Chains A and B, each alone.
Chain A
Amino acid sequence: MEKLRSADYKAPGGKLVRVRLREEQGQIRSVKITGDFFLIPEESLGKLEKMLEDAPLREAELRLLVDRFFRGTGAQGLGVSSDDFVKAILLAREG
């Protein structure tokens, strides 16, 4: 059964990463990441959300995916890191 999960995660430095996701049997069906962080190029956030679709809600896999996103796109985060995105998504698993 599909469940809606959400979390507001405060990154070191104070920026907020807000995750709203649909989960089914331990997998992400879709995810929306919002917040007051900086990420350039700005359009890359949509790519990250797309990459996370159908990913298992497990730390190791999420970490690999988010790291691959940063390496692959050359995106630069400010106030948010790869680790923060992973932690915010994992926090949503609980919420």
Chain B
Amino acid sequence: METWRLIDLEYRDNPFMNLAVEEAIPRVVGEGKAPSTVRFWHNSNTIVIGCFQSARLEVNMEACKETGTEIVRRFTGGGAVYHDIGNLNYAISLPKGHRLVPDQNLQSVFRKLSEGAVEGLRELGVRAEFQPVNDIQVEGKKVSGAAGSIRWNSVFHHGCILVGSDLSILGKVLNVPRAKLEDRHVASVQKRVTTVGNELGREVSTREVQEAIVDGIENCYGVKVESGVLMKEEVGLAEELYQTKYSRLEWNLEP
């Protein structure tokens, strides 16, 4: 049976380093120097914007200052998300051509590589469903958003799961453009999302969700997930990406 490496490495108070590690892994997996990997991690309160987004347009800078929220740009497309320690991030890095995602279609990647998370959430009792383009929803409310890419000879998919996040801060720090809310018959981002805790009516730890997702991944994809550590190439590359890209305002805030 195929084995995937589990990486539990995170920098809760350094979202810039978290994103540097996030990029280093698929790059090194694509070089064939690291195995297929699933990583779990958290950020303290941070807005992570998509690579095509304008920080100025998407983020309420004043509210970020007031709440001590950091802003970091990721290397994948999609929309801005608010992270806090009640938010669990997972990331899957596979070599290009992997049997699970043999074609080069990004929608197929999102659908296939969301299955493990959907299965894990269902195992916990959440009625989760994949909703194209890139969401996992519970009865029309978003509980997880995903993003990803096919590059560096790898297929990469990551998602954030709202486990017990503070949705009141989320509504303050993100600007949701009026055009985005049209057709949805709701007035705010806060009403369009839910958390695993809300759905189950109890406090749920991100560890519990992580374990359920690992089970979901093993069952859905027929793989064994085993704890591992970063290769020295990944550590070196993450340091370099941190210095040259993710710790820099030019990357995070421009355009």
Report A's interface with B, CB cutoff 8 A: 8-10, 13-16, 18, 32-42, 45, 76, 78-79
Q: Tell yes or no: B57 within 8 A of A by CB.
A: yes
In the complex, the answer to whether A34 meets B106 with C-beta atoms within 8 Å is no
Q: Are B106 and A33 in contact (CB under 8 A)?
A: no
Q: Which residue of B lies closest to A39 (CB)?
A: B77
**Binary per-residue interface labels of chain B (178-212) against chain A in the complex, 1 for a CB within 8 Å, 0 otherwise:** 11101100000000000000000000000000000
The answer for the CA separation of A35 and B36 in the assembled complex, in Å, is: 30
Contact: A78 with B52, CB < 8 Å? no
* CB-contact partner of B149 in A10, A16, A36, A42, under 8 A: A42
Additional A-B contact list (11), CB under 8 Å, known A14-B183, A38-B147, A40-B77? A8-B177, A10-B182, A34-B54, A35-B53, A36-B50, A36-B77, A38-B134, A38-B148, A40-B151, A42-B75, A76-B106
Residue of A nearest to B132 (CB): A13
In the complex, the chain A residue whose C-beta lies closest to that of B178 is A8
Instruction: Tell me whether A37 and B179 are in contact (CB under 8 A).
Output: no
A38-B133, A42-B151, A76-B106 in contact; A33/B52 too (CB < 8 A)?
yes
A9, A13, A40: the one contacting B179 at CB < 8 Å is A9
Which residues of chain B are within 8 angstroms of A35 by Cβ–Cβ distance?
Answer: 52-53
Shortest beta-carbon distance from A8 to chain B in Å: 4
Given A13-B132, A34-B52, answer yes or no on A40-B106 (Cβ-Cβ < 8 Å).
Answer: yes
CA distance in complex: A86, B75 (Å): 25
A-B contact pairs, 27 of them (CB 8 A): A8-B178, A10-B180, A10-B183, A15-B133, A16-B177, A16-B180, A18-B57, A18-B177, A32-B255, A34-B53, A34-B57, A34-B255, A36-B52, A36-B80, A37-B52, A37-B77, A38-B76, A38-B78, A38-B106, A38-B148, A40-B77, A40-B150, A40-B151, A42-B51, A42-B52, A45-B52, A79-B133
Minimum CB distance partner of B150 in chain A: A40
Q: Tally chain B residues at the interface, Cβ within 8 Å.
A: 32
B67 part of interface (Cβ distance < 8 Å): no
Q: Is B52 within 8 A of A39, CB to CB?
A: yes
In the assembled complex, the CB of B89 is this many whole angstroms from the nearest CB of chain A, namely 18
Q: Does B104 contact A (CB under 8 A)?
A: yes
Candidate in A33, A38, A78 with the most chain B CB atoms within 10 angstroms: A38
Contact B53 A36 (CB under 8 A): yes
Task: Name the contact of B54 in the complex, choosing from A9, A18, A76 (C-beta under 8 A).
Answer: A18
The 5 closest A-B pairs by CB, nearest first: A36-B79, A38-B77, A34-B54, A8-B179, A78-B106
CA distance A14 to B176 in the complex (A): 13
Residues of B within 8 A of A45 (CB): 52
Chain A, residue nearest B176 (CB): A16
Proximity bits, B44-84, A CB within 8 Å = 1, else 0: 00000011111001000000000000000001111110000
By beta carbon, the residue of chain B nearest A13 is: B133
